[in-house]
A and B are shown apart, each in its own frame.
Chain A
Amino acid sequence: MSTITPVLHLVTCGSVDDGKSTLIGRLLVETESVPVDQLEYAKTIRRGGSTIPVGEVDYSLLTDGLEAEREQGITIDVAYRHMNLPNGRRVLIADAPGHEQYTRNMAVAASNGDVAVLLVDAARGVRPQTFRHLTVCALMGVKTVIIAVNKMDLVDFDHATFEEIVGTIRTAAARLDVEEVLAIPMSAFTGDNVTIKSASMKWYHGPTLLEALAQWEPGADPIEGVFRFPVQYVVRAEGNFRGYAGTVVSGSVKPGDSIVVADSGRTAVVDRIVAYGGDLDRAVAGQAVTLTLDHEVDVTRGDVIAGDTQLQPADRFAVDMVWLSEEPLAHGRSYLLVSGSRSVPATVTNVRHRLDVVTGQEHAARVLEMNGIGRVEIATDRPIPMDPYSISRDTGGFLLVDRVTADTVAAGLTRHAMRRAFNVVAHSYDVDREARELLMGHKGKVLWLTGLPGSGKSTISDAAVRKLHALGIHTYVLDGDNVRMGLNKDLGFTPEDRAENVRRVAEVAKLMMDAGVVVFVALVSPFRSDRRAAKELFNEGDFLEVYVDTPIEVCAERDPKGLYAKAAAGNLPNMTGAGQDYESPEHPDLVLHGVGDLDAAASELVQHILGE
C-alpha cells in the first residue's frame, strides 16, 4: 500500500527585484487562494512608485508583510502562505527573502522544502545569490529545484538567453545533491508560462509552473523508509495505561512489530496503536499516534523508538552547521542541542571548514559567523542516537540553543557519528570509588573556587589544604596558572580556549575525586556557561561552586602577578576584569569574602567541607 502525500512544501527563493512577489501573487490569485476582499485591496490601493493602473491587480500587494518592513521597504523574514493545486494537494509556501544577509532565513524556509522555485531575472542573468540559494536548498535537503527564468518579456522571449542561464545553473546543480532540476521560461508580469502556456515562446515544450507543481510526486514514498518515532509525551490514564505519544517521522508500524528504543537498546513489541476514537491497525509517516508496548521498558520524552538497530547512540558527530546568531560560534562553549523532543548539552569541539555558498569551495576556518555555513564536530554530554540528515530531517537535524539567552543560535545537519558509544565502553573495575574512599577514610569531593584574578582563590586554597592535611585528609590543588604550564599550555585566553581550559581541568578534577581525593580548583573561570558545563560532569553533592567575592579595586591593588598593571598599560586585552567581563555565580554553594583575613575565609571553607 502506498500513501498519498497531501501537502507539498514549497520554498520560493529570489529577491523582490526578480519579480518574486508578483509571481507568488499571481499563483495565489489564479489558483483562487486569495480571499475576495484582499484581492479588492490589491486592485484599489496603490503605493508610491506603482505604475499599475487602479482596477488591475497589483500582485505584489498580496504578499506584503509587516508594517516594519513596509516602512523600510525590505523583507526581514520568512512568510508562510497556502495554495490549493487543481488535484487537491495543499501547497504550503515558505517565502524566503533574497538578500545576501538572509542566508539563515533561506535555510529555515528550505528546511521543510520538497520543491524550491529559484527565481532568476532573465535580463540580469545568473548572479551570486542564485548559487547561494541553490547551495542552501541542496544542503537543507530540497530534492527538486525549478529554475524560474523570469522576465522573459524583457529579453524578447529569447531562447538562447534562457538556455545559457539554465546551462550555468545545471552545471552548479550537478555537483550538489539535487535529484531533479526543471527549468521554465516565464514572465510573472504578463503571466506567460505561470499558469497559462506562453504564445510567445513556442520553442518551449515543457509544463507551466502550475503544471509542474501539480505533477510533483515525492521521490521516495516516506513510508518505505525505516521506522522512526521520537517520543514527545508519555500518556498516563486510568487503568495503569502508559502510552508513548509522538509523530511517525518515517516508515510505518503495526501491532506485533518488534521495536528497539534507540537510546537504550532495549527491545519490545508494539501492543496497540491508540488514537482518539479507537485503535489503529497501522500508523504511517506523518501520523500522530500513541503506542503501547507489550512490557515495561524505560522510555522517556526525547527517546527515539526505531524499527531497526541502525540507529545507535554516539557522543561525537560530524555535522554541517548554519550559524544563525549575531554572536559567532565559540567552540568549547556548552550549548543545548535540541533534536526532535530531546535536549542535551553539547559543545562544538572543532571547526573543520567554512563553505563558500557561492563557489562551493571549502575554506579553512576557526569560527563561524552569522549566516556562515560549515562542517564542524560536536560532542554531546551523553550518547544520543542521531541519523544522518540524508536519512531523516527529523532525526538528523538539530538546533543549538544558547543556555543563557535561550536564543536559537544554529541549525545542525548530522552527517555521521564519529564515535559510536559502544566503541568506547567504560570498563568497570572491581576496586571502585567506594572501595577507595573506604581506604582513604573520607569521600572525594571537588571545591571549585571562582573569582577575579587576585581575589584570593589560591591563597584560600593553600590555607584550607594545610588545615585538612593536618586532619589526615587527602587533598590536591589544581591551580589555574600551574595547569597552564603543563596540561593546558596549548591554550590561550580567547573565550573558546578558556572554555576548553575549564573543561580539561574539570575532567582532571573528576578523575582525582574518583580516586578519593578532595580536590581544590583555583581557577578564574569567568563564564557561567563554562562553570555550568563543569558542574554537569558531577553528581549532586560531589561538586561545590565557591565564589570568592572580592571587589575589583582590592584585586587590582593586590595584583600578585602584575596582571592588572599590564592590562592598564594595554598589554593584556583579554584579561578578566579588564578586557573581558567576569560573570559572577548566580547560585553559588558558598560565598567567601576575599577581603581582610583570608585565613578566616579558609577556615569557613574547611568547616563547610567537614560539615558536608
Chain B
Amino acid sequence: MTDVPYEAVLDALEAEAIHIYRETAAAFRNPVLLYSIGKDSSVLLHLALKAFAPGPIPFPVMHIDTTWKFQEMISFRNQRVADLGLDLKIAINEKGVADGVSPFNHGTHEYTRLMKTVALREGIDKYGFDAAIGGARRDEERSRAKERVFSLREPGHRWEPRKQRPEFWRTANTSLAEGQSMRVFPLSNWTELDVWRYIRREEIPIPGLYYSKERPVVERDGALIMVDDERFPLREGETIEMRSVRFRTLGCYPLTGAVESFADNIDDLITEMETSRISERAGRLIDGEGGGSMEAKKAEGYF
C-alpha cells in the first residue's frame, strides 16, 4: 500500500484548479474573478497568479461590497489590489444603500438577497461578464455536492438544476446561448482543510481576522458577534466584552459568528481545525436551517 503524502493531494487539486482557470480565460469573452477577500478567495487569487505566469492575470476581479464587511477586510483588499496591480471592480447595490438596507432591519434572507445577490447580478450585467469565477466548494454544504465546476445560468442569472450540463473528463462545454452566463468553481473538489494547508504551504496572505485576538463581541442568539463599528445597535441587556476570538469564515460582520479560540498562528489554527471538524457554515447566520435554503438562494442567482 503506497502512502500518499498530503503534498501530492494538494498538487493534484492545484493542477485541476489551474486547468479550470485556463479554460475559462481562453473560452469566455469577458470573465471575472469574484473576490470576496476571505481564505477561499485568497487561494483563488494565488492560483490565478500561478495559472497565467509569467503573464498577468488576464481578467478583472470584482468585489460584491454589501457595505457591512469587517473594516479589516476592506483594508486587506485594498492592500492586495495595490500589491498585485489588480483591476478591481466594486459592485454595490446603491439603491439598497440609499434605502438603508441593513442586516438589522431587513432579516437575513432579504438582506442577503438585496445586498449580495442583487449586487452580484447588477455587477455582472453592468460590465457584461459572461463567466464569473467563484470559490465555492462541494464540501461546504450538502446541496453543493451536485454543483458543477462550470455551472450554467439562464437569462436573469437563474440556476436551473435540469439545465446543468453533464461534465465528462476534463472537457468542458463552454458554449453559451443567448442570455446565458457561467459561474465557474475551480475549488469544487477542495475541502476546508485543503484550503488551510495550501495557505500554509504557499504562504498566502490572509486577513488577520482568521487568527485569534482580543476583540469586542456581544453574545446574541447563541452566537458571538463582533462590534466592528458604531452602526451596531445594542439590544437591552447586551454588553460588549473583550474575548479571544477568531472567524472561520468572513462576511458581513453582523452576520458572522466568531469562535472562541487561542489559535493566533496558522499551525495552531490547522490543529484546531483537524480536531474540531465542525462545518464552517455553522458560523454563518445567513444560511438558515437546512441545506435547502442555499439551493433556493442559488436559484435566485446567488453564488
A residues near B (Cβ < 8 Å) are 4-7, 32, 34-38, 62-68, 70, 76-82, 85, 87-90, 92, 104-105, 107-108, 111-112, 214-215, 217, 232-233, 235-238, 241, 243, 245-247, 249, 274-277, 286-288, 290, 301, 324, 336, 338-341, 343, 393-394, 397-399, 401, 403-408, 411
Contacts and interface: CB of A to CB of B under 8 A. Distances in A.
Contact of A64 (B2, B54, B142, B175): B142
Interface string B50-88: 111111100000000000000000000000000000000
A36 B276 contact: yes
B54 A247 contact: no
A85 B9 CA distance: 12
Interface of A is mostly: mixed
B9 A407 contact: no
B139 interface: yes
B125 to A, nearest CB: 19
16 contacts: A65-B146, A67-B143, A77-B164, A80-B138, A87-B2, A87-B3, A90-B4, A108-B167, A111-B168, A236-B55, A247-B170, A276-B50, A287-B15, A397-B168, A398-B171, A405-B177
A40 to B, nearest CB: 9
Contacts of B98: none
Interface of B: 1-6, 8-9, 11-12, 14-16, 18-19, 22-23, 25-27, 49-56, 138-139, 142-143, 145-146, 161-173, 175-177, 180, 188-189, 191, 276-279, 282, 291-292, 295-296
B161 A68 contact: yes
Nearest to B189: A92
B165 A407 contact: yes
Interface centre among B8, B172, B295, B296 (most CB of A within 10 A): B8
A90 B9 contact: yes
A76 B166 CA distance: 12
Given A87-B4, A88-B3, A336-B175, A341 B26 contact: yes
Interface centre among A62, A76, A245 (most CB of B within 10 A): A245
Contacts of A108: 166-168
Shortest beta-carbon contacts, A-B, top 9: A35-B279, A67-B292, A6-B8, A288-B18, A88-B4, A276-B50, A276-B53, A406-B175, A406-B177
B171 A38 contact: no
Given A108-B167, A232-B19, A406 B3 contact: no
B85 to A, nearest CB: 13
A6 B296 CA distance: 35
A58 to B, nearest CB: 13
Given A67-B296, A247-B170, A404-B177, A276 B291 contact: no
A399 B171 contact: yes
Nearest to B292: A67
Contacts of B18: 247, 288
Contact of A340 (B54, B166, B171): B171
Given A35-B277, A232-B23, A290-B53, A112 B15 contact: no
B54 A237 contact: yes
A80 B3 contact: no
A235 B189 contact: no
